[in-house]
Amino acid sequence: MKYTITTPLYYVNDKPHLGSSYTTIACDALARFHRLNGNSVLFLTGVDEHGQKIERTANAKNISPQIHCDEITEKYKYLWDKLNISYDRFIRTTAPEHSLLVHKFYSKVLESGDVYMGRQSGWYCVGCEEYKDVEENNISPSCSIHKKELEWRDEENLFFRLSKYQKDIEKLIQIEGFISPKSRRNEIINFVSKGLRDFSISRVNLKWGINVPGNEEHTFYVWFDALLGYVSGSLLDQRSPELTDNSLTYWPVNIHVIGKDILRFHAVYWPAMLLSAGMKPPLSVLGHGFLTREGQKMGKSLGNVLDPLELIEHSGIDAMRWYLLRDIEFGDDGDFQMRRFVDIVNSDLSNTIGNLLNRTITMSKKWFNDNIPIENPSLIESKLKGISEIKINEYINSFKENNFKNSASAIIDFANNANLYLNDRAPWKLIKDISNKEIVAQDIYSVLESCRLIGVLLHPLVPDLSKRILNQLRIDSSSITFENSLKWGLLDPHNGLEDPSPVMDKIEYTDKSN
Ligand code: MSP
């Protein structure tokens, strides 16, 4: 089955921070999960490069917007590579092909009679690139997200007839699973029930944008242009943007993963734009919470960001990915705390998983000389076999609900059980009597087999650590799928083991990043 997944296209007003990394890591985990599950995945990410926010940032640096965009885009790509993000395509909205696509799409919307010239006046947040609703008597309103004063605008703009799609959007957002989590769905239902208002899709006096054919003094509103990045990225041939089923084989998008601040754009404006152009809306939109520091949204404009590169330098990629996916309830806000970060990573990855593997390999090599004397591993009646089945189910079901936290918990429960099993059975005592050798072999095998399964299950969340675990068991991680690797008893007892070496070093607490 085809599966298309997208991150938001990040504004290039500044380099990426931990908050932007969070969405991308979550998408990467989903993409890897669906690939292991046998799907043909198209994983899109990229950058949103136009608009006033970017133009102003470049002006302040005294460089051209394009040079500024190129610089920041490189930083995103560099970080995504560092974080081992397995994206298939990286979209840039300044790519010439993207302009062609925007023009093509616009002509479809025009054909539907959904564009008209009007006048827009209101309070605008350049940080959000969005008009805000403000109480009438408020004469100096500010943005609750960016903590900056809003700017008054009054200009002639082209409008998109969003109101025409009221019924369609009402129907769409009622579909079970279209918006998750549930709390966010209610927020959107409430917003839509108040009646959809047409919104402006062009700007005047803004050079840094895609020109509007037929209205040369206008450029497209940055959101109209950016959302279409998803279409650009899905095109089979990006140089000839045909909006047909043949050129869009990965359409519709299965899931747009985004932060809660941009849910309206994705769950309301965007589906309506697609319907207007005769295209299918996305199948689901997942809105996560914010990463906060001391209760405030971590943001480029707010200047309270945690630099992911510093964190990687200090703790490594696995630590960062694990903490974000394991500790934060995906729909909720999560406060980053260094102490908690260090404790969780050390406890889960170094102690519970790393030590389990290390000590079991050590025992196995010492007593069985690389060959565990077992003929039919799948028949071993170990308590761990039953536990593995339960935990694998929990893991898969949670992943299908985009609940990374529960998937990660299922892995840790499984590893805890394997540790308990080892401690209960105490093979180091049993082995003292040579007649127990077969029983000990079965116990050691069961724990190693559990480690293999844990290594596979870890792949979507922490692919590097997963690889190191599987390498220790001499398993080639590049060819695994769930279908060929999640059954009990697949570890070949005669395959041998690498010399034990810690798969996850402990990290030290530092107050530098807190
Ligand atoms: N450019 C638009 C998206 C266009 S998509 C066609 C945009 N860019 S952004 O860079 O401001 O934000 C991108 C994503 O990062 C959003 O989903 C936003 O919610 C997310 N985050 C930004 N700061 C964040 C945190 N502190 N925590 C979690 N996610 C955060 O909006």
> What mean pLDDT comes out for the span 426-439?
94
CB of 9 closer than 6 A to ligand 1?
A: yes
The more confidently predicted of residues 43 and 298 is 43
Residues 319-358 have pLDDT tens digits of 999 999 999 888 888 888 889 999 999 999 999 999 999 9
Backbone torsion region of residue 131, taken as left when φ is above 0, otherwise alpha when ψ lies between -120 and 50, otherwise beta: beta
In the predicted structure, residue 140 carries a pLDDT above the cut 90: no
Tell me how far the alpha carbon of residue 9 lies from the centroid of ligand 1, in angstroms. Answer: 8
User: Measuring from atom 23 of ligand 1, which residue has the nearest CA?
Assistant: 19
CB 222 within 8 A of CB 214: no
Tell me how far the alpha carbon of residue 8 lies from the centroid of ligand 1, in angstroms. Answer: 7
> What mean pLDDT comes out for the span 45-57?
94
In the predicted structure, residue 129 carries a pLDDT above the cut 90: no
Residues 219-243 have pLDDT tens digits of 999 999 999 999 999 998 877 788 8
In the predicted structure, residue 147 carries a pLDDT above the cut 90: no
In the predicted structure, residue 514 carries a pLDDT above the cut 50: no
In the predicted structure, residue 199 carries a pLDDT above the cut 70: yes
CB of 22 closer than 6 A to ligand 1?
A: yes
d(CA 171, CA 190): 13
Question: Of the given ranges (147-151, 213-217, 313-317, 358-362), which has the lowest mean pLDDT?
Answer: 147-151
Question: Of the given ranges (92-96, 102-106, 364-368, 376-380), which has the lowest mean pLDDT?
Answer: 376-380
- Hey, how many other C-beta atoms are within 10 angstroms of the C-beta on 101? 24
CB of 48 closer than 6 A to ligand 1?
A: yes
Q: Which atom of ligand 1 is nearest to the CA of 257?
A: 17
What proportion of the chain, given as a percentage, has pLDDT over 90?
78
Provide the residue count of the chain: 514
CB 76 within 8 A of CB 12: yes
Tell me whether strands 151-160 and 199-200 are parallel, antiparallel or unpaired: antiparallel
CB 278 within 8 A of CB 104: no
Q: Give the list of residues 6+ apart from residue 23 with CB closer than 8 angstroms, or none.
A: 7, 8, 257, 258, 259, 288
Tell me how far the alpha carbon of residue 22 lies from the centroid of ligand 1, in angstroms. Answer: 10
CA angle 459, 463, 465 (to 5 degrees): 100
Residues 445-499 have pLDDT tens digits of 999 999 999 999 999 999 999 999 999 999 999 989 999 999 999 999 999 999 9
Band (pLDDT 50/70/90 cuts) for residue 511 is low
Query: Percent helix, strand and coil across the chain, each rounded to 5?
Result: 50, 15, 35
User: Measuring from atom 13 of ligand 1, which residue has the nearest CA?
Assistant: 10
324 phi/psi in degrees, rounded to 5: -65, -40
The more confidently predicted of residues 511 and 162 is 162
In the predicted structure, residue 40 carries a pLDDT above the cut 60: yes
d(CA 445, CA 429): 17
CB 276 within 8 A of CB 108: yes
In the predicted structure, residue 301 carries a pLDDT above the cut 80: no
> What mean pLDDT comes out for the span 261-284?
97
Tell me how far the alpha carbon of residue 341 lies from the centroid of ligand 1, in angstroms. Answer: 22
Question: Of the given ranges (24-33, 38-47, 243-252), which has the lowest mean pLDDT?
Answer: 243-252
Tell me how far the alpha carbon of residue 328 lies from the centroid of ligand 1, in angstroms. Answer: 17
Band (pLDDT 50/70/90 cuts) for residue 135 is confident
pLDDT at 266: 98
DSSP track, 181-211: SHHHHHHHHHHHHT----EE-EEES--SS-E
> What mean pLDDT comes out for the span 429-453?
95
Band (pLDDT 50/70/90 cuts) for residue 300 is low
CB 336 within 8 A of CB 298: yes
Pocket residue to mutate for ligand 1, from 27, 48, 148, most atoms within 8 A of Cβ = 48
In this structure, what token pair is assigned to residue 174?
């009622």
The dihedral built from the CA positions of residue 375, 378, 379 and 384, taken in this order, carries a sign that is positive
Tell me how far the alpha carbon of residue 424 lies from the centroid of ligand 1, in angstroms. Answer: 48
Q: Which of 499, 507, 493, 452 is nearest to 475 (CA)?
A: 452
The reported pTM is: 0.94
Band (pLDDT 50/70/90 cuts) for residue 205 is confident
CB of 10 closer than 6 A to ligand 1?
A: yes
459 phi/psi in degrees, rounded to 5: -50, -50
